[in-house]
Chain A
Amino acid sequence: MTKRPPEPVQVVKQRRDAALQALAEGVPYIRFLGVSFDRRGDELTAILPYDDKLIGNPLLPALHGGVTAAFLEVTALIELGWSMIWDEVEASGEAPASPFRLPKTVDFTVDYLRSGLPRDAYARARVNRSGRRYASVHVEAWQDNRARLFAQATGHFLMPGPDG
């Protein structure tokens, strides 16, 4: 038996980026907020570029709490979806057939730790449990300093059934 040569790095990158794009681009609200994803291997960082329309308190000024919550929920959902398709993308060598069914949020609890400054924001999520029925995801968001979170959240999600 001969060992297959490793795939060229560009082919691997293109396939992973295409799978990630397919996951996020189909959701109009993600475009509405302007959220994008930076990928390093399987690690995702969500980016929310600052925009005046995201302000909730013009006097401070500060990001709207709803924007912060939405950013965290988007990050949690895409991370969960990404973890669900990763093995398939790696094994089959191609992006999963679209449209991909994202899990549904059951509940989502946000802690506002500091006010959201009028700058870019970043978030990373960690899937703490992912079963057949439900998943539990923790997500952290920061702005200038990775260690100084401005918000964190935990959410529970209902996994899509085998027939969708």
Chain B
Amino acid sequence: MDDETTRIARQFIESIPHCKHLNIELVRVDHGLAELLLPHDDRLIGDPETGVIHGGAVFTLLDTCSGAAVASHPDASVNTATMDLRIDYMRAAAPGRPSLPMPSVTTSPATLPLCAPGPAMTTEASQWQPPPAPSP
């Protein structure tokens, strides 16, 4: 997507009050793809012993990212709403490092009979963390 579209998408994501509260940043967005970043924050810790962030914060990151991916899809309307969201924890988030989800729209839009008008989409997102920088 061009810089102007990305700029508008960034402004939109970063103006969502709860995303602002979590300091979620938009890295890039592109026709059904979105990449967001959640910086580490001690207030988000869910397990004080390990310093791992709470699953609830991960939920917000994945939900926002999925929504951004849907909104950037050429067939989607600007307004999106989450109908259901399932999260599978593969491993604990490493403490002290930022988290990046990578959702993509995996099915083509289909009209949902219960919820007219507008298309329904399924997204699949995975969250990952950049590997730690090699020690000098």
Contact = CB atoms under 8 A, between A and B. Distances in A.
Task: Please provide the 5 A-B residue pairs with the shortest distance between their CB atoms, ordered closest to farther.
Answer: A70-B56, A66-B60, A29-B54, A64-B18, A69-B59
B75 interface: no
A52 B19 CA distance: 12
A83 B59 CA distance: 25
How many interface residues does chain B have, given as a range?
A: 35 or more
B55 interface: yes
A27 B60 contact: no
A74 B63 CA distance: 17
Given A105-B55, A105-B89, A66 B64 contact: yes
Interface residues of A, number: 37
7 contacts: A53-B20, A54-B17, A56-B63, A58-B16, A64-B64, A69-B56, A106-B88
A56 B17 contact: yes
Interface stretch (A4-12, A107-115, A124-132, A141-149): A107-115
B94 to A, nearest CB: 15
A107 B89 contact: yes
Contact of A70 (B16, B19, B43, B57): B57
Contact of B48 (A27, A67, A112): A27
The winner among A58, A70, A99, A109 for most chain B CB atoms within 10 A is A70
Contacts of A46: none
A65 B85 contact: yes
Interface of B: 15-21, 42-49, 53-57, 59-64, 67, 81-89, 92
Given A27-B46, A28-B43, A66 B59 contact: yes
Contacts of A73: 54-56, 59
Contacts of A53: 17-18, 20-21
Interface string A69-107: 111011000000000000000000000000101101111
A121 interface: no
Contacts of A23: none
B84 A111 contact: yes
A55 B17 contact: yes
Given A107-B86, A107-B89, A26 B48 contact: yes
A146 to B, nearest CB: 22
B114 to A, nearest CB: 12
Nearest to B52: A104
